[in-house]
Amino acid sequence: MTDSAHAYLDQVVPRLQKLTDLAAAGGLEPAVDLLVAALEKGGVIQSFGTGHSQAFVMELSGRAGGLIPTSGIYLRDVLTVGDRDRSQLTGGELERDPSVVDDLFAVSTIGPDDVFVIASNSGVNGSIVGVALEAKRRGHAVIAVTSLEHTNAVEPKHPSGQRLSEVADVVIDNLAPFGDTTLPVDGGVVVGAVSSITAALIAQLLTIGVTERIAATGATPPVYISANIPGGDEHNRALEDRYRGRIRRSA
C-alpha cells in the first residue's frame, strides 16, 4: 500500500500544481470575470453536476469559506422539489436523459443575471449538455469544468451532438485522464481517480479569485464562516437573507 499511496500522490500533485500555476498566471481570470460580473448585477452563481461531480457543486456552494450567493442544482431536485418518479433516480439513466432539463429548470429559482458553473468529467451526458444549452438559450454565461482528454475521446450523448466544452463560454480543464483513473492494479482494473480532487481545487481557486476581486473594490465579500464556531449561524443567516428565495441549501 505504501508504494501505491506514493504512486497516487505522484499522479495528483503535478495536476494540482499545474492548476495552481494556471491560476497564478491568470488562466482562471475569464471565469472569475463572469462570476464577478454576475454578482455585481445581483445575480447568483448556479452550479450543477451529476454523479461524483456533485462534489464540485458542494465545494462551490454552501460551505464554510465559500460564497453565499451560490445555489446548487442536483438531479434529485426533480424528486425532492418536483414530482418525478423516485425510480428514475437510480442506475444513472436520469443523468443521460436530456428531457430532465425542463423539470430541473422548473423547480429551480434562476434569475436573469445568474451565471452557471457546470462540472462533468466526461462532459457528454444528456442532462449536463442539456442544462448548458438551456442556460445559454436563456442568456446565461456558462463555465465548464471538465476533462478535455476524456470528453474529446468519447461521443456526445446529447441529441445536439455537442459536448459541454463546446457549449460553454469558458472551459476549465480538470486535467483528469481518460477514464479518470491513474493506477493499474492486478486483475486488469485501474483505480486512483483524480477528477474530484482537481475539481475541488478549481472550486476553491474560483472562490478565492472572486472574493479577492470583490475585496479589492472595498466591499466585504459575502462569504460563509463555519456554522460550528460561535456566531457562525448568525453571520451566515444575515447574509443569506439578502438572497432569500434565490439560493437553495440541501441537507
> What does the pLDDT look like over 102-157, one tens digit per residue?
999 999 999 999 999 999 999 999 999 999 999 999 999 999 999 999 999 999 99
In the prediction, which pLDDT does 55 show?
96
Q: Establish if 247 belongs to a structural domain.
A: no
CA dihedral angle for residue 176, residue 178, residue 183, residue 189, rounded to 10 degrees: 140
Q: Establish if 152 belongs to a structural domain.
A: yes
Q: Establish if 31 belongs to a structural domain.
A: yes
Instruction: Give the dihedral sign, CA 140/101/109/119.
Output: negative
List, in sequence order, every residue forming a beta bridge with 49; answer none if it has no partner. Answer: 119
Helices (H), the chain: 2-24, 29-40, 54-60, 77-80, 100-106, 126-137, 148-151, 164-167, 195-216, 232-240
List, in sequence order, every residue forming a beta bridge with 13; answer none if it has no partner. Answer: none
In the prediction, which pLDDT does 140 show?
98
Q: Across residues 36-45, what is the average pLDDT?
A: 97
Find out whether 158 and 130 touch, Cβ atoms under 8 Å.
yes
Q: Across residues 65-90, what is the average pLDDT?
A: 82
In the prediction, which pLDDT does 2 show?
74
Q: Establish if 210 belongs to a structural domain.
A: yes
pLDDT band at 92 (very low <50, low <70, confident <90, very high): confident
Q: What is the number of structural domains in the chain?
A: 1
Amino acid, single-letter form, for residue 109: T
Q: Establish if 193 belongs to a structural domain.
A: yes
Q: Establish if 248 belongs to a structural domain.
A: no
CATH code: domain of residue 198: 3.40.50.10490
In the prediction, which pLDDT does 219 show?
93
User: Is the model's pLDDT at 249 over the cut of 80?
Assistant: no
Q: Across residues 235-245, what is the average pLDDT?
A: 88
Phi-psi map region of 59: left, alpha, beta (phi>0 left; psi -120 to 50 alpha)? alpha
List, in sequence order, every residue forming a beta bridge with 45; answer none if it has no partner. Answer: 70, 115
For the chain, give the percent of residues with pLDDT over 90.
82
In the prediction, which pLDDT does 109 show?
94
149/125 Cα distance (integer angstroms): 16
123/147 Cα distance (integer angstroms): 8
pLDDT in tens, 18-30: 999 999 999 999 9
For the chain, the first-to-last Cα distance in angstroms comes to 35
Q: Establish if 206 belongs to a structural domain.
A: yes
Q: How far is CA 222 from CA 39, 62, 159, 251, in A?
A: 10, 12, 39, 21
Which structural domain, as residue segments, surrounds residue 102?
1-242
In the prediction, which pLDDT does 84 show?
65
Find out whether 129 and 158 touch, Cβ atoms under 8 Å.
yes
- The mean pLDDT of the chain is 93
Q: Establish if 251 belongs to a structural domain.
A: no
pLDDT band at 85 (very low <50, low <70, confident <90, very high): low
248/23 Cα distance (integer angstroms): 29
